[in-house]
Amino acid sequence: MSASPASATDDRERSFDEQVARSLPRNVAAQLFNGMFGQTGFRLVQAPTFLPAYLHALSGSDVVVGLARSLQAAGTVLSPVIGASLIGHRGSILGISLGLGALMRLNILGIALAGFLLGAGEAIYAVLVMLTLMGFFQGASQVTMNSLRAKVIPVQRRGIVAGMRNLLAGIASASVSYVAGAYVIERNLLGNGYASVFLLAFAIGMIGLAGLGFTREPVTVSVRAQESVRGTIARLPALLRENPDFARFFVARAIGSFGRMAMPFYILFAGTRMELTGASLGLLTSIWMVTSSMTNLVWGVLADRRGYRVVMIATLAIWIVANAQLLFTSDVSGMVAFFVTMGMAQGGFNQSGQNMVLEFGRTEDIPIRLAASSTAVNFVGTIGPLLGGAIAALWSYHALFVTCIVLQSIALAIIVVWVPEPRLASLAVRGAVASGDD
């Protein structure tokens, strides 16, 4: 007598779980290696120090600095949906994840080459184009990489693995950042210190991506039917209607992400309070990276025990305090204290947002949930830095920081009052199902 479809599915799910358990040590090692090197390379470009300072040195304009980050975010607005449509119907996604990661890193190489080969005016345009393309592949890669992580790392281990990834990346990034500022930029290595830093970022990032290739990926048990990009976009409204808890989280995370509007301008504001040399850039970048990575390990352990909602609440509150502190900062020690506080908040906020998405609903809907949330956050990232540059240019840096405080306070209130812990809600649903089966 043949097995029922339900029992056959149960057998496949058990086999999938067994494969995940057997491969867990290898996959954790691949994730940690990728985090240590891949994140180090990417952080050198994403840091709120090197690239904004480079663009400001080329252009002398706050607006150009904001435009650059806006264009990078603009590239990520629709590409998460493309990433979801590429993998939603596939049982294996490692190859696509590696391909998108490589394409993203090639644009870092382009930024470096533009610095070496082009004049200041042409380099500005080239960097803007490369950042837009990097954002496009980054948005799709966020969906595929997080979906891959959700497959190979069980939910009860994701916090500690994410924390360890960030800790290792932070130690490596801090070391490389200080050398990049104090030696590479200070000595104008290879004739262009900033371009040399970005070339180093590309090389380190590619090493990290190669390590991810050692992932042992099980084939997904349940996948959705293949959908076009248009079909994936069309499903987003229904996803939000059918999952109101996720919809409220979706709104809160997007509003909270308006804190990114100030990110490119923190270092420019620091320049009004201290002299910005290569050594000071390296020092502030290292402080930001070390603090973010050390506290991310704590956030990860806390999340494994209590869920990611409490982490998002704590980090949003700390980020608000950090922005408020800037209103009263007048010297070097105040800027160092700010980068410590902001480092504690920003990394944990990103970690909690990315991981909470994975827990709001069915496993097969993870790519579309990631696409929806990433699209909203990246849309905010598109308009935020440009808006931030306009506020700073028309009014002041202080006006920009106050705007961030107000918007992030609204996001914090939404999460505290209206967004439940998704892990507890999921356990309640499973308990109800189990009671019905008895």
The helix/strand count (H/E) of the chain reads as: 18, 0
Every domain of the chain and the residues it spans: 23-217+228-427
Q: Which of 362, 432, 410, 390 is nearest to 256 (CA)?
A: 410
Residue bearing tokens 């509007």: 261
pLDDT tens for 118-173 read 998 899 999 999 999 999 998 889 888 888 888 888 877 877 887 788 788 878 88
Q: Which of 164, 139, 19 is nearest to 73 (CA)?
A: 139
Give Cα 421 to chain centroid, integer Å. 21
| Residue ranges of the chain whose pLDDT lies below 50 | 1, 427-438
Give me the pLDDT at residue 426, please. Answer: 53
Q: How is residue 37 written in tokens? A: 């090197």
* Angle subtended at Cα 39 by Cα 36 and Cα 41, rounded to the nearest 5 degrees: 105
Integer Cα distance of 258 and 340 in angstroms: 20
pTM over 0.95: no
Q: What is the DSSP string of 361-404?
A: S-GGGHHHHHHHHHHHHHHHHHHHHHHHHHHHHHT-HHHHHHHH
CA trace torsion 359, 363, 365, 367 (10° rounding): 80
Give me the pLDDT at residue 4, please. Answer: 56
Look at the alpha carbons of 149, 154, 155, 161 in this order and tell me if their dihedral is positive or negative: negative
Integer Cα distance of 109 and 202 in angstroms: 6
Q: Which residues contact 291 (CB under 8 A, 6 or more apart)?
A: 170, 339, 340, 343, 344
Give Cα 43 to chain centroid, integer Å. 10
Q: Which residues contact 23 (CB under 8 A, 6 or more apart)?
A: 152, 216, 218
Integer Cα distance of 430 and 254 in angstroms: 29
Residue count of the chain: 438
Buried b (16+ CB within 10 A) or exposed e, 251-287: bbbbbbbbbbbbbbbbbbbbeebeebebebbbbbbbb
Residues 138, 375 contacting (CB under 8 angstroms) = no
Give me the pLDDT at residue 313, please. Answer: 96
Alpha carbon distances (Å) from 211 to 34, 37, 240, 270:
6, 9, 36, 36
CATH 1.20.1250.20 fits 23-217+228-427, yes or no: yes
Q: How is residue 31 written in tokens? A: 């994730």
